[in-house]
Amino acid sequence: MPWLPVLVVLLLLLRLAAQLALEACNRAETRRHAGVRPDAFAGIMDEPTFARAADYTVAKSRFAGLGQVYDAAVLAAVLFSGLLPVLWQRIDALAPGAAWSGAVFLTVTMVLLSLPDLPFDWWSHFRLEERFGFNKSTLRLWLSDKLKGTVVSLVIGFPLAWALLAVVRFAGGHWWLWGFVLVFGFQLLMIVLYPKLILPLFNKLSPLADGELRDRLLALSDRAGFRARTIEVMDGSKRSGHSNAFFTGFGRFRRIVLFDTLVAQLAPEELEAVLAHEIGHYKRGHIPKFLAMAAAIQLGAFALVAWLMQVPWFNSAFGLPAGSAAPAFLLAMLLSGLVTFWFGPVGNWFSRRHEYEADAFARDAVGSAAPLVGALRKLAQKNLSNLTPHPAYSTFYYSHPTIIERERALTAGGRR
């Protein structure tokens, strides 16, 4: 039906207009404050660093806007150029209707769709990030990462796609329930396996060295009721000057990973507060809450794809055979961002709420807000964080509260 392509074009243009408007508002807000640093930020950045952070924000925003236009053009070309029907005809001809040929179509198409992003990713690393002193990678390492990432995607993606399409073929009308169980169960398994099997392909993980810092952090985890088996340090500095910490796994497989840049930048009491924050996510039940929300959304997505496979106009609007599972899955993945973009503020609201709760847990665990405030200020300075984002931009793109919002909540003793 002709109305569907028209609707897709309208949604694509509407999203692009919103993205470009948000970037323009954020640049304007950044420039408005760039001339004179607000007094509220005196303890976070000196004036030269504040000006450099503003330059970094504007440069990233301009680059992001260009990338958004480019991505919209690529998506439109993929959907309306006839590329997908040609790929489908040639690959499905190998074994018409078979699960494995459908899996080949999905994996080959997704690999091909990743190619247009390579020039932008290269420019981001070796021009934009390099300009502001963050890039530590080499061209050889960047190429190696891309090659290994592609191989991992093929090794994991093809069997999963084959299994899902086999479920569609043999499970009957309720295939979407079994498909959900398959994919979500696989994702839970990957939460456990990723830090053990995949992450080491790209980064070296080492236990935090014996000494006062390790003893201090393990003592904190015991006091907080976390009882971590180990705290690992990741060699993030070989790719970037940015620093971070993250929590992965669940149950007895849980672990906390600190970037080596983070360990180098923060004082022991600040690292203790960062660790307490990560433990706070675990103790406040954020992981199961996130998984439950993700499961509900994914179940709804599978039900939607099952319906779209039954209607004759969905696949055929893009030149693909009606009712075919692999094309329906691909189209759903390509088009989903046109809708989910508008729900980003909802997800960010939940994420920011969890950050406030983890901050409060860290403050109580170490007995003071000062260490975490000190850590946040150093990270904002080292990462050239934007201290004056436009409120609309923050609503759509910030999964964490701004540093000022976090400091206010910490010192007020509650959550905003």
Q: Catalytic site residues?
A: 278, 359
- Distance (Å, rounded) from C-alpha 315 to C-alpha 111? 21
The DSSP secondary structure of 66-134, one letter per residue, reads: HHHHHHHHHHHHHHHSSHHHHHHHHHHTTSTT-HHHHHHHHHHHHHHHHGGGHHHHHHIIIIIIHHTT-
Contact 228, 254 (CB under 8 A): yes
User: In this structure, which amino acid lies at residue 235?
Assistant: D
DSSP helix/strand/coil, 38: coil
Closest by alpha carbon to 25, among 77, 55, 61, 72? 61
Cα 335–336–341 angle (5° rounding)? 115
Q: At what angle do helices 268-283 and 344-366 cross, to 10 degrees?
A: 120
Phi, psi of 207 (to 5 degrees): -60, 145
Contact 250, 287 (CB under 8 A): yes
Token duo for residue 378: 């150093």
- Distance (Å, rounded) from C-alpha 358 to C-alpha 277? 5
Beta-bridge partner residues of 258 = 233, 245
- Distance (Å, rounded) from C-alpha 100 to C-alpha 92? 9
Token duo for residue 416: 């905003």
Contact 208, 232 (CB under 8 A): yes
Neighbours of 368 (CB within 10 A): 15
DSSP helix/strand/coil, 174: helix
Burial of 126 (0-12, 13-18, 19+ CB in 10 A): middle
Beta-bridge partner residues of 232 = 207, 257
